[in-house]
Each structure stands twice: as structure tokens, then as C-alpha cells.
Chains A and B, each alone.
Chain A
Amino acid sequence: SQELEQSPQSLIVQEGKNLTINCTSSKTLYGLYWYKQKYGEGLIFLMMLQKGGEEKSHEKITAKLDEKKQQSSLHITASQPSHAGIYLCGADPDNYGQNFVFGPGTRLSVLP
């Protein structure tokens, strides 16, 4: 079965700093999803990547899927306190939308 790992597990940055969160899959990714969860709340869909080398941006958040489609990175530029939360990557192992798997999450804190 497909497994996702995320690094780092937690991250504390000063406001205005850039940061990167990585998601690594044990198998080829057919669809890689990034979500943000504010503590104790539901998930917010950020973006989905499907093609190797694909890069998408949402406000100050950029995500990229590497050419081999087994790793994705999420980059936040000039972080703000509103970026704080848990970032989860998710994958659709067989591209049928029925067996989603998620990474363990990265907890981001942004200090003002």
C-alpha cells in the first residue's frame, strides 16, 4: 500500500521567513493533494498536482510535484501568522478517488 511521509513534523518560524514542507511517497503519485487544517477545524483544500514537474500557487503558497512523481514540496513565502496550522499531503494511490491516503502532517507555527 502507498505511504506518505512528511518532513519536518513540526516547524516554528519567524513571521516573514520562507519555509518548505516535503511530502514523500513510497509509490508513484497519480494525484497529490495539499490541505491545511487549522487546529481542531476541518481541512481546507489548497491544491492538487498531477503531472510530474507541475507547480501551482495559491496566494503565497507554492507546491511542486517532482518529475518522478514521488515527492512534493510546499513552499510558503514571507510567512504570516495566518499560515499557522497543520499541513497535510494526501494521495490517490490508484487514481480512482476511493483509497485516499494522507501523510501524518506538519505542524507550522509562525511567530509574530
Chain B
Amino acid sequence: SQTIHQWPATLVQPVGSPLSLECTVEGTSNPNLYWYRQAAGRGLQLLFYSVGIGQISSEVPQNLSASRPQDRQFILSSKKLLLSDSGFYLCAWIRDRAGEQYFGPGTRLTVT
């Protein structure tokens, strides 16, 4: 069966500090991977998606970047965090074009 991991589960970082969130998937190969953010009181927002190693598409211009160094690894980064980067970050993968999307447990980021 497929499993998706995210870490850390929670993170408190000061403004201006760097960020690295990691997502890994088990039990599948060449998945489409996604990063979402849920800000307080808002719906989910798609940040990045990747269809393969080194392939990143950005949906929203922002202070964040993503990388896919390995087939089943997706990383969300920032060089300098802003207060507005606080939120709940979810990694997801989709089995195929018309399949279900599965989400990781999420990372709660608080920027102070």
C-alpha cells in the first residue's frame, strides 16, 4: 500500500529564518506530487506540483520554492520566512490522472 510522510509535524520559526519541509512517498513510483497550504480561515491553496524529478510548476508567486531531487521526495523551502507563511502545509500525491488524491499528515508552521 502507498504511504505518504511529512516532517516535521510542527515547526515554530522566527521571521527571516530558512525553511525546509520534506515529503516522501512509499509504495509507488513516478507519482505526481503536490504542496498545498491551508491558512487560518481559508481553503486549501495549491502551491506547487511536480510530475517528475526536477520538474516543478508553481501556482502562486510567493516566498516559497519547491524541489524534487528524487522520484518520491518533494521538498518545500524558503530562504527567509515571512509572518504570512504561517499555516498548515500538506503534501499530496495522485496515482494517475483521474485517480484519487492522497494527503500526508501535514506540517503546522508558525512564523513568529
Contact = CB atoms under 8 A, between A and B. Distances in A.
B48 to A, nearest CB: 11
Interface in B25-56: 32, 34, 42-44, 46, 49, 51
A105 B43 contact: yes
A44 B100 CA distance: 11
A112 interface: no
B98 interface: yes
A90 interface: yes
Interface stretch (B12-20, B67-75, B78-86, B88-96): B88-96
Interface residues of A, number: 25
A42 B101 contact: no
B102 interface: yes
A98 B44 contact: no
A43 B108 contact: no
A88 B106 contact: no
Contacts of A95: 97-98
B43 A42 contact: no
Q: Range of interface residues on chain B?
A: 20 to 34
Interface string A86-112: 001010100111111111110000000
B98 A50 contact: yes
B7 interface: no
A87 to B, nearest CB: 12
A25 to B, nearest CB: 14
B92 to A, nearest CB: 8
15 contacts: A33-B101, A40-B108, A42-B90, A43-B103, A45-B103, A48-B100, A88-B43, A90-B44, A95-B98, A97-B32, A97-B96, A97-B99, A98-B32, A99-B46, A100-B101
